[in-house]
Amino acid sequence: MSDDTLTLARALNYAAEMHRNQRRKGAAQEPYVNHLIEVMELVARVTDGQDAEILVAALLHDAIEDAGATAEEIEARFGTRVARIVVENTDDMTLTKPERRARRIATMADKPADSRVVKIADVVSNLRSLVLSAPAGWDIERKLNYLEACRQLVDAGRGANAALEALFDEAVAEVEAAVRGDRPMNIDGREEALRHLEVEMGQHVHLVYLPNTQLRWLTGADIQKLAQEAAIFFPSAAIHEAHATFDGKLRKILLARIRTDDSDAVVAFGQRLCLAFEQEFVGIEVGGRYIRVYADDTD
């Protein structure tokens, strides 16, 4: 086994471990590591797989921002260049989302080509997901606004890799046509169908899970607050106390059981709860399917 193959295997294992409890924010809820592997594959394709360090950085590009890794840890494991690329692809999460977006665009041109390659591959992967499995509640206008922000970012960093930039341009055309026309999208010669949150309307019961991501003790005041928030959207709701385990921790949670024919209202309710209760995400079960609505999808 070559040193590069061993290093990639170690990086994949590390990425899988760091992101083990994370899933993509779309309705399909794919394991997050799928995205990391896709970004690595895109980078490998346009660099002929000859640069192991940039492939490792592609796998780890979200390890600091989303999984709590440190630059020092990544440098100790995989070297200075990998750590530098990951840092240059990490947002300052103390900023608001519009501020982070503006900073990404403003600083893109000044980054080394290898960092821009990883970022553009990340953008291509995210654009594909925008069609294949968009976050709950994203309408056409929001998808098109996101596409335009991606276009501005990549345009600011052009010159890093012509083949990858051509893949981006192809993805933009396919995504825009799919979003506007609600049709399948072509990816590498394959027709990929759009995935919608399919709900058979009627008198279905929808469950909304307040997951207590802070692991605090929930009180009667929390129950009352949840009931008040539900009343904004629905004429009636049943509120339940329960226990749940995830991320290896047992915690008290609250459930809202709602009967409605408006699945968009259930999504909007979940988004509001993210803010009202300062939750990283809220779980929604619609028509027997479970999805997560995330706090950073509410602005």
The CA dihedral of 241, 242, 248, 249, to the nearest 10 degrees, is 40
Contact 184, 194 (CB under 8 A): yes
Q: How many Å is the Cα radius of gyration of the chain?
A: 21
The CA dihedral of 171, 176, 177, 182, to the nearest 10 degrees, is 120
The b-or-e profile of 150-185 (16+ CB within 10 A means b, else e) is: bbebbebbeebbeebbebbeebbebbbebbeeeebb
52 residue type, one letter: A
The contacts of residue 43 (CB under 8 Å, 6+ apart) are: 54, 55, 58, 117, 118, 121, 164
The contacts of residue 26 (CB under 8 Å, 6+ apart) are: 129, 132, 133, 134, 135, 136, 195
Q: Is the dihedral of CA 218, 224, 228, 231 positive or negative?
A: positive
65 is catalytic: yes
CA distances from 255 to 167, 203, 208, 226, 266 (A): 44, 18, 6, 9, 13
Strand partners, 135: 26
List 65, 170, 192, 285, catalytic entry:
65
Q: What tokens does 46 get?
A: 């346009």
Q: What tokens does 133 get?
A: 């499995």
Which of 12, 37, 9 is CA-nearest to residue 121?
37
66 is catalytic: yes
List 4, 66, 170, 192, catalytic entry:
66
Contact 254, 269 (CB under 8 A): no
The residues assigned a catalytic role are 65-66
